[in-house]
Amino acid sequence: MPNLTSTSNFLLKEFAEVQELQILHFSAFLTLYLIATGGNVLIITLVILDHRLHTPMYFFLMNLALMDVGSISVIVPKSMANSLMDSRTISYSGCVAQVFFYVFFAGSNVALLTIMAHDHYVAICNPLQYETIMNKGACVQMAASAWIFGILFGLMHTSGTFANTFCSNAVDQFFCEIPKLLRLSCSELYLIEIGFLVLGNCTGFGCFIFITATYVSIFTAVYRIPSEQGRQKALSTCLPHLIVISVFVFTGVFVYTSPPSTTSSDLDLGFAVIYAIFPPMLNPFIYSMRNKEIHTALWKIFHRRHSNRSSRLLL
């Protein structure tokens, strides 16, 4: 087949050929998208409005929520639009943008989760120096470094992927996923992106090792705390972060390390939905489920609105 040019479109994998099933896919994705964006926007709003949440932990959580909104918004609306319009196409520039922004948010997410592990380490293992080490300026610099890392990560992988010429435009995924795009390459330049993927995986593995070592130190310090209440409070702070890391890392690692021949195309599609949509959707619930400070902030906002509405009715 002839090489494709920059004006070509890519064809994404559709979930179904029957119109009724496409509408069902649209409805399911719309529900998941609204849950994910609504939960994360609520976290962002609470952190901004409640001064008691103006701490390093919630500042990083707000950044994580922003990344989650971005990552799910990169791929889900386009998939919904295609199902609604009975289409499979995405423009070349749209595919480039999708790859860049998805990798950008994913890379920023990994960096921020690593920083959050450091924040928990300082809070539990070095509490007397916490305010000095995790001051406002340091937190802003750490968060900025996570975003910058994501930008560099996105630029690296996007340039490595689209330096290739493609001999087909049929992407075997519902969004522009790098491994699926590389399978369409008909030039040796795909080896550049393979090298970038290896480098990226090594970086991610290094972050995972750092997080693991950090939590070994944290758990060692926690079990030295004399009071049972103190231990439970420290563990309840760390547990949501560990769950988020586990969901994010293991779903992605399982997909990207499984040999292509061992999974069917439909199974790949299902795994992609799990690792691309579920982490951003679950994160707000994981962090807020047993978090009394978030519950209090949420109650204050609803109580304030109810009071304002009652005052207007009385007037």
Backbone angles phi, psi at 194, to 5 degrees: -60, -45
Task: Render 157-205 in DSSP notation, one character per residue.
Answer: HHHHHHTS-BS--B-SSSS--HHHHHTTB-STTHHHHHHHHHHHHHHHH
Instruction: Examine residue 58 and state whether it is found in any structural domain, yes or no.
Output: yes
- On whether residue 291 sits in a domain, the answer given is yes
CA distance 287 to 248: 14
The model's pLDDT over 248-300, given as tens digits with 9 standing for 90+, comes to: 777 666 655 555 444 456 777 877 888 888 888 888 888 876 677 887 887 87
Average pLDDT of the chain? 84
pLDDT (tens digit, 9 = 90+) per residue, 108-163? 999 999 999 999 999 888 888 999 999 999 999 999 999 999 999 999 999 988 98
- Comparing 194 with 290, which gets the higher pLDDT? 194
pLDDT at 168: 86
Of the candidates 127, 128, 131, the residue with the CA atom closest to the CA atom of residue 55: 131
Residues 6+ away with beta carbon under 8 Å from 1: 167, 168
Report the percent of the chain where pLDDT is more than 70. Answer: 88
Domain residues for the domain of 64 are 9-314
Count the domains in the chain.
1
The DSSP secondary structure of 110-142, one letter per residue, reads HHHHHHHHHHHHHHHHSGGGHHHHT-HHHHHHH
Q: Could you please report the per-residue DSSP string of 287-305?
A: HHTT-HHHHHHHHHHHHHH
| Residue-level pLDDT at 129 | 92
Structure tokens at 236: 């309840």
**In the predicted model, is pLDDT for residue 95 greater than 90?**
yes
pTM of the model: 0.87
Is residue 1, in this structure, part of any structural domain at all?
A: no
**DSSP structure class, residue 261:** G
In a domain, 3, yes or no: no
- For residue 252, the domain's CATH number is 1.20.1070.10
> Does residue 4 lie within any of the structural domains?
no
2 lies in a domain? no
- 262 occurs within a structural domain: yes
Residue 96 has pLDDT above 90, yes or no: yes
Residue 217 has pLDDT above 80, yes or no: yes
pLDDT of 181 over the 50 cut: yes
- Are 139 and 56 a contacting pair, CB within 8 Å? yes
- Number of other residues whose CB lies within 10 A of the CB of residue 241: 22
